[in-house]
Chains A and B, each alone.
Chain A
């Protein structure tokens, strides 16, 4: 069974640009969550999607958005990039029950904003 797949693996953008990251969950998993990992702030929850709807949201500005497709694949978008958005963005999938599930993570997308 394939794991969680994130593309691209690395991205370099400049300030003010926008970026779209992609995540394909484990087959059969319906929930996709996104996390940001930085040396300063550690791992922080961005949002969770289930059945194409955002179910939970962390404390990030509106520049961070996401969506989920009918095949459970998810994308997250960051608009008007700032230097502080440089981070490893991790996607996790789970079966989709309401809480307390095992989350399986992808290898992440390393975003560098110059």
Chain B
């Protein structure tokens, strides 16, 4: 199928790590992205990973990619209340600029 899948909800306590998971569909996807959406706002690009990489770290963010299982994850270290938002993974297919987005995971950070 064409669906990029994510779990819908995640709650964590402030200061803990958050792990958001995503399963994508196209083995030919060359870039995979994580976007953040806060209420009433557009999408903010957080990070991305090239398909020939297994891991990418960017400050508090760590992206892990398992190409064999088509599994992507985003780990947020030391999660803060300001991290509460909806997180979308997205894949580009066939080298085009149109992205296929997951359903989004609503992260709630409990103080």
Contacts and interface: CB of A to CB of B under 8 A. Distances in A.
Interface string B82-111: 000000101010111111111110000000
A100 B95 contact: yes
Interface size range of chain A in the complex: 20 to 34
Contacts, number: 63
Task: Give the interface residue-count category, chain B.
Answer: 20 to 34
Interface string A35-63: 00000001101001000000110100000
B92 to A, nearest CB: 5
Contacts of B101: 42-43
B44 A103 contact: no
Given A94-B97, A103-B33, 5 more contacts: A31-B97, A42-B103, A56-B98, A104-B45, A105-B45
A interface SS class:
strand
Given A42-B101, A42-B104, A99 B43 contact: no
A98 interface: yes
Nearest to B45: A102
Contacts of A4: 42
A103 B42 contact: no
Interface in B33-63: 33, 35, 40-45, 48
17 contacts: A6-B42, A42-B102, A42-B104, A43-B99, A43-B104, A45-B98, A45-B99, A56-B97, A56-B98, A58-B98, A98-B97, A99-B92, A100-B30, A103-B33, A105-B42, A105-B45, A107-B40
B97 A103 contact: yes
Nearest to A98: B95
